[in-house]
Structure 1
Amino acid sequence: SDGRWEEAESLLMQVMEFRKKVLGAEYPQTLTVMNNLAGLYGSQGNYEAAEK
């Protein structure tokens, strides 16, 4: 890992918000991005954010 957590988080948040608006919160592709964001938080040890 090269420590680009903030950039990854920002991009995932943008994609997630876009997909929520366009596809809906329960759409499989939206849920995949949410899962990826939770994984990012988990790998940083930020388990509280990962649960959200």
Structure 2
Amino acid sequence: MTIGPTGSGKVSLARQMARSGLALDLGDFGPEVIAKAKLCLLDFLSCAFEAGHHP
């Protein structure tokens, strides 16, 4: 795993996504959007943890 720019000088997709997420102002979204995003994130994490032991 590399931290920072890759050897080619490009920033990884994961880092770009993290920066985009951190740049969001949650005040720009309504409460229903925030609630749905939380539900989707929890669903994703539960699937990822459950699938962690599969090849």
TM-score range, shorter chain: 0.3 to 0.5
Q: Structure 1-normalised TM-score?
A: 0.40
Q: Name the larger-Rg structure.
A: 2
Which structure has the highest helix share of the two? Answer: 1
TM-score by structure 2 length? Answer: 0.38
Higher RCO, 1 vs 2 (CA within 8 Å, ≥6 residues apart): 1
